[in-house]
A and B are shown apart, each in its own frame.
Chain A
Amino acid sequence: MNPFRDREINLTRRQLFGRTSQGIGVVALASLLNPKLLADTPAAAPPKSAAAFGGLADLPHFAPKAKRIIYLHQSGAPSQIDLFDYKPKLAAMAGSELPDSVRQGQRITGMTSGQNSLPVAPSIFKFNRVGENGVWMSELLPHTSKIVDDITLIKTVNTDAINHDPAITFIQTGFMQPGRPSMGSWVTYGLGSENQNLPAFVVLISQANALNRDQPLFTRLWSSGFLPSKYQGVRFRASGDPVLFLANPEGVDGKTRRDMLDTLSELNHITEQTYGDPEVTTRISQYEMAYRMQSSVPELTDLSKEPASTFELYGPDSKKPGTYAANCLMARRLAERGVRFIQLYHRGWDQHNDLPRDLALQCGGTDQASAALVTDLKQRGLLDDTLVIWGGEFGRTVYCQGHLTKENYGRDHHPRCFTMWFAGGGIKRGFSLGETDDFSYNAVADPVPIHDVQATVLNCLGIDHSRLTYKFQGRHFRLTDVAGVVNKKILA
């Protein structure tokens, strides 16, 4: 009873061949070509061994270790000194001035450059040795501490930017100024989609737990820049339609929608015959993809079939739509369904003041779910081909911003070292890379610039970062701009 079926079977060589400036909707075309998909009902699970739909012909460049990415971006910049980068010597230096020999004249932000003193603020949090290798980790991360044997920590990531807007734009797009495609756009442009019922690049946003709820987000962080806009990330929302305009208007039920689509298809079919334009064929199939999404997205966001053990694992917040925990669970469900790039943002990590209070709140809202995601993926055998990334856009200063007391302090932006962690496909387990000085100020061993992080992430996906390019304005652009070296030390 599917009128499209005939169309699909009748698809001619000419339509296949046809290309216009607009290009053919790749995902849709792919599903037309895959007879297996024709049998799929919208809610059915995607084929396990689904080949990529869309993507560049010469990709992957080599055998990938990971097929997909879940990027847990902690927006605002978590304090590495209070979470990962244990600096026991600081206790004795509390309140003393940060030595010039450490700062070395490096620039500081307009928020503390007016401060006449840069007093050292040791972390008030306890650190423990965790995991088989006895990695130091803060008491604020009891759950992450438990998965430490599954992750690689890099303590020496460094960036060029010193404020949020350029820094988050840099880590997401490889350039501090707007206009470049985001990492997720590059990946979906290069590798295409692993499924045909959901977008290839999905964005989930969760709000701060801290009382100071700073830091805005920008669409440019998941935009496609100069790549065609179909590679832009699709925001999945916790309130209203999960995907914008997904639901039929009230008063239009599924059958009416199907009637309407069948009619539309017949009419568009006539247009296609009249004009011979393959874009019409694509449009027909895009409506079918939209129709499939109307079933697959609600199925995805319906957590009623998750067992109680899932919610125990992710914590009670995971039942509240839109929380970080619920989004982590959603990320696993998206990964299961073959979404290529899942980008989470958690706001509120900008602790300029009241750090002890707000950092604890932030960790309270995220630690269990971040760890649960890794555990859950591992239990399901998905961690082997999923790469999980955790981290902010820069680190925080060892010196106090504002008034320093024993109980309270704040930290400004610090670009020269911060900690990120990675887990899963292609990455070593139970490993820590990089050493910083006694002040967590400068990297003293294995510095890892942002472009190296990006090159390494792409490498896990089987992509040579220097060869995934797009010609725009006469130049072959790439995620890593003119830099980037794959960090082999963290690769499994």
Chain B
Amino acid sequence: MQKPKILDILSADDSFQTIVRFTMRTWLYLSATLFLGAPALFPAAAPTIDFDRQIRPILSDNCFTCHGPDEKRRMAGLHFDTKEGAFGKPDVIVPGDSSKSKMYLKISSTNEAMRMPPKAFGRTLTPVQIETIKKWIDGGAKWETHWAYTPPKRPELPKVQDAKWVRNPIDQFVLAKLEKEGLHPTPETDRITLLRRVTFDLTGLPPTPAEEKAFLADKSPQAYEKLVDRLLASPHYGERMAMQWLDFARYSDTHGYHIDSAREMWPWRDWVISAFNKNMPYDEFTIEQIAGDLLPHATQAQIIATGFNRNHMINFEGGAIPEEYQNEYIVDRIEATSATWLGVTLGCARCHDHKYDPLRQKDFYSFGAFFNSVKEKGLDGYKGNAVPFLQLPNKEQADMKARLLEAIKEKDAEIGKAETRWEDEQRAVEAKDITAGLAARYPFEDSLANETKSDAPAKLVGGKMGYTAGRIGRALDLTNEGQLSFPGAGPSATDKPFTASMWVSVGGPSGMTLLAHYDKLPKDGPGYEIAVDYCNKGNCNIIVRMHGADPAALLETKSVEGIELGKSDEGQTPQHWDHVAVAYDGSGRAKGVQIYVNGRSVKTSVLQDRLGAPASFGKGELQIGNKDWGTPFKGQLADLRFYDRRIYAGEAYNLGLLSPLASVLKIPETKRSEDQKEWVRAYFLQQAGNPAEQQLGVDAKQLQRGLDQLNREIPSTMVMAEMDKPRDTFVLRRGDYQLKGDKVEPNTPAVLPPLPKDAPRNRLTLARWIVDPGNPLTARVAVNHFWQMAFGLGIVKTSEDFGSQGDPPSNQELLDWLATQFVSSHWDVKALEKLIVTSATYRQGSHVTPDMLEKDPENRLLARGPRFRLPAEMVRDNALAVSGLINDKIGGPSVLPYQPKGLWEEMAFGGDFSAQTYVQGHGDDLYRRSLYTFVKRTVPYPTLNTFDAPDREKCTVRRSTTNTPLQALVLMNDPTFVEASRALAQRDLIEAGPTTAERIRYAFRLATDRDPTPKEAAILEGLYKKEMAHYDTDHGAADKLLSVGESKRNPKLNAAELAAWTLVSSTILNMDETITKN
């Protein structure tokens, strides 16, 4: 026995591999059975070799890496991915004669150095595989194009013996296969099990007692069909269908990368629910999600639908490079779109040509070009939704907004009147400029002149500079690394008093030196500087540093309140002017430094106060923008002045406010700049106006705050919108955004049918191409998804990969029939669902015999009905439903039910960002269906995550279904389930009859829809008696157990009894049968 052989046969299932090592006895047993038995589905005894199923997987898995579609990696010029490649050289594969086929001779060589694949490659062919290839060549080496790339042809219905069993064509295909394998279908399951199965499958909820009663009472032959029709018409049908679709769309309530703050996409989620409920044809459903915005006269709903491709993760990590993430968004759209609709993973071609499928790297980027023209930013989302998004006010909000805007307008007019009155009074007042001790003044009115000393202007010593508008007059623009020197300006020693006064508009976010004067390098001094500190939330502190002769001699003072940073928006930095004055008394002490901002003295904190002996600043000159002295200033400066004395508070007020304000008031109102208007108004409302006038300002602010708040409350959702001029798209070498290769145009992969020649190359054309009946993949992939929901596995098990590395369909005729049927029904999803759930195949019992388990462990032949654990959402929804706690409201913002404390906070970035702290909801929010639970990507909701709900970082087409101890802990101890147990017990005690037997029967039936067997009832009764006795002697314990959860405990019920029934209910909710679709 050789290990690899068995593993090859079974390699598809990892969990199996993990099992086979336990004991030698098992090992031998497995080896014997499997090796001799060969794969159950496709017996080696089949008369002819099936190329698609038996040969291509071997070639693709073992040979394509070096002999496949990727031309760059191709060895010896040989490739086996196409017929031309395989038979291009006559002696490689000689049809009918393996002994002359070099390919066969290589793979079967006993000489290790000669044998293919090479040892270093790490993969080896098993004897079975080598033999299969031999048989294929000897049998004529028939070649077929990979099945999935050929459009499905509607197959004839196959002949079957047991025609009575057949309810619809699905059954005919399934039965034909079973009969071929010598298997028989399992008899139809009982009505109750069927009711429960189909209700979960179509609504995600268990049937209610009333629904159950109605169904059981309906003895008509159409009873089941009527049931299915009722379920398909239920508003909860859309919710159930959306559950799977949200995984595809990687739907989430947070951005996912790094800070992972909140976003709003629930209007898109609700669109999906509604589209399924309305039974929107699948082609329209597809077109609207990919390109609804491009449809002629697109409706709001059609634009909302395009959120599918805005659900990807979005980044705004500080320091991240926009281009890098812009590229990731495109990659994600390619992957999600191709996996969801085409069942191929174009993602593999990101870095190089696909190794296994005929998908080239160029195809990947050409496909991406469709998505590279969205009006979006590489880094965005720090305040919620990233552009482009759509605001969706309800009627009330729209009215409120209109009212607020009107009120703001009125208030504004009122303020304007008052302001004009005030201004008229002010015009007569003259504010005298402060000139005493003025040693240098640079107005920067389009020159570097020094007003007080005409022979000592400032000079440009490096970089570029310019002039721009200031608050009043002109200003110096230093956004381009300009370096200036100011000969003779400013103080010359640490014991000389001085005042520096200037208007500043800060244009860079980092700490920057405004101006400095140092004697030598490095900046140990002596010398001084005035700097802008790191800006925190738009506020930048001012720092004054003065150095003595000794490196340790330093005076450093920092303002506690600072100046405002210009609002930066993708490189554009609108000016924001503040006046800064630094006055120093020459004392050498920190308390001798005072900083004024906009005419007012600000609080300072002393960082260093050990300047020591007076020191001269030496020969150097005052400079701005000297890189050696710190990060140079970036922004604008105006009216720079130096006084050779310290100025006092009143003078600073004059300098920083009154004088310049007076000069603005002289400008006619119509000629003032927006900045000047705002400034005058702010001064009037905050300082100059009388109390009644100042109150107007307070009122206006309040109105504005109301509007801002309303804007935050109005929901929005991210959508697609085209740029006026699309970005260019390039092939990126190794997938790296920095390594641009050839430019590409929007296009679809070459292996698939081409786009219509004259259609515009945009998303709408792409969407229509996807749902074109000539597309070989879309309909097959779609029916496979719907099949997967009902049977647990798709007809193609690898529902995310229909390519040559994917699993072949277990029944291709069935798949193709369903696909063609789906298209010819005009993509009618409900009709397809009905076809599936009314088939005899679906209605089979799900019991399995040992023999069947051996032959078909995964139930791919469908000789029995589906049985698997409910998906995460249904595990929780079921507990809420049977306990009666559920709130079945459909749609709306996501909710935050119980979650252990600190889960987000321990990992979150924090700060002012949203979704950093978990604020648990209350009331109905605790009992909403699970698809409304807030999805935070970096910290998934534990209750659902434990049951395999994905984290939604990427498109997930197929979930794993695990069975772990952590799931047991959730079901036993999560407050959601403990509370549900208590609620179920309460319901039981109120609604069921008074006897223990009746109560057990009722609770059991609520959870499983069937009566317990006498044995089961006896087992539960035993537990009840034990716990009743226990809680009867320990009322404290009972009270504690009954206090779990926020819903009110029924005070009329006896505590001990309720606690005992809570335990019994919890046991029932934990049963395998309760969390399983049987």
Contact = CB atoms under 8 A, between A and B. Distances in A.
Interface in A216-242: 216-220, 223, 227-230, 234, 237, 239-241
Interface in B520-567: 521-524, 531, 533-534, 543, 551
Interface string B348-370: 10010001110000000000000
Contact of A467 (B122, B953, B961): B122
Contact of B14 (A12, A23, A112): A23
B631 A402 contact: yes
Contacts of B1013: 270
B1044 interface: yes
Interface string A192-207: 1000000100000101
A251 B1040 contact: yes
Contacts of A274: 847
Interface in B1041-1078: 1041-1044, 1059, 1063, 1066-1067, 1070-1073, 1076, 1078
A23 B962 contact: yes
B953 A220 contact: yes
Interface stretch (B126-134, B409-417, B901-909): B901-909
A144 B901 CA distance: 35
Interface centre among A223, A271, A403, A475 (most CB of B within 10 A): A403
B23 A229 contact: no
B1019 A263 contact: yes
A179 B850 CA distance: 37
A447 B20 CA distance: 40
A263 B868 contact: no
B938 interface: yes
Interface string A11-51: 01110111111111111111001000000000000000000
Given A239-B901, A264-B1070, A116 B7 contact: no
Contact of A253 (B22, B543, B909, B1037): B1037
Interface in B939-978: 939-940, 942, 945-946, 948, 951, 953-954, 960-970, 972-975, 978
Given A24-B19, A217-B907, A406 B1072 contact: no
By CB atoms of chain A within 10 A, which of B16, B260, B315, B1043 has the most?
A: B16
Interface string B886-913: 0000000000000011100011111000
B846 interface: yes
Contacts of B805: 471, 474-475
Contact of A19 (B355, B857, B968, B974): B857
Contacts of B1070: 260, 264, 287
Contacts of A192: 18
A207 B867 CA distance: 44
Nearest to A322: B906
A240 B902 contact: yes
B178 interface: no
Interface stretch (B137-145, B224-232, B317-325, B680-688): B317-325
- The size class of the interface chain B forms with chain A is 35 or more
A293 interface: yes
A26 B19 contact: yes
Contacts of A110: 318-322
A163 B320 contact: yes
Contact of A25 (B868, B906, B964, B969): B964
Interface string B787-799: 0000011000110
Contacts of A277: 846, 848, 867
Given A259-B1023, A475-B805, A94 B961 contact: no
Contact of B1073 (A189, A252, A271, A475): A271
B801 interface: yes
A290 B950 CA distance: 22
A275 B845 CA distance: 9
A115 interface: yes
Contacts of B995: none
A249 interface: yes
Most chain A CB neighbours (cut-off 10 Å) among B511, B962, B963, B1027: B963
Contacts of B235: none
A268 interface: yes
B29 to A, nearest CB: 7
Given A95-B523, A216-B909, A402-B534, A117 B627 contact: yes
A58 B7 contact: yes
Contact of B481 (A12, A116, A293): A116
A252 B1063 contact: yes
Nearest to A178: B953
Residue from B522, B627, B850, B962 having most chain A Cβ neighbours under 10 A: B962
Given A95-B522, A282-B963, A213 B630 contact: no
B652 interface: no
Contacts of A119: 628
Contact of A109 (B320, B351, B533, B906): B320
B1015 interface: yes
Contact of B258 (A28, A111, A164): A164
| Majority secondary structure, B binding face | loop
A20 B317 contact: no
A165 interface: yes
Given A249-B978, A283-B963, A276 B850 contact: yes
A387 to B, nearest CB: 23
Contacts of B938: 216-220
Nearest to A207: B906
A205 B902 CA distance: 12
Nearest to B954: A179
Given A95-B521, A219-B940, A276-B849, A57 B21 contact: yes
Contacts of B534: 353, 402
A57 B10 CA distance: 12
A251 B901 CA distance: 20
Interface string A409-423: 000110000000000
Nearest to A250: B1040
B858 interface: yes
Contacts of A245: 900, 942, 966, 969-970, 972-974
Interface in B326-344: 328, 331, 339
B727 to A, nearest CB: 20
B920 interface: no
A21 B800 CA distance: 15
B257 A165 contact: yes
Contacts of A490: none
Contact of B966 (A115, A290, A470): A290
A214 interface: yes
A274 to B, nearest CB: 7
Given A19-B857, A58-B7, A260-B1067, A216 B258 contact: yes
B539 to A, nearest CB: 16
A293 B965 contact: yes
Contacts of B902: 237, 239-240
A165 B1040 contact: no
Contacts of A12: 850
A199 B964 CA distance: 10
Nearest to B628: A95
A356 to B, nearest CB: 14
A223 B634 CA distance: 44
B1071 A271 contact: yes
Nearest to B738: A107
Contacts of B509: 114
A162 interface: yes
A403 B868 contact: no
Given A216-B259, A230-B962, A19 B317 contact: no
9 contacts: A24-B15, A54-B18, A97-B627, A163-B317, A199-B966, A250-B1043, A267-B1067, A271-B1071, A275-B847
**Pairs of residues from A and B, 8 with the lowest C-beta to C-beta distance, nearest first:** A23-B15, A251-B1041, A474-B805, A251-B1040, A109-B319, A95-B522, A290-B968, A289-B965
Given A95-B521, A267-B1019, A290-B968, 15 more contacts: A17-B857, A19-B13, A33-B22, A107-B738, A110-B318, A116-B481, A179-B953, A215-B909, A229-B962, A230-B963, A234-B966, A263-B1067, A404-B630, A473-B347, A474-B348
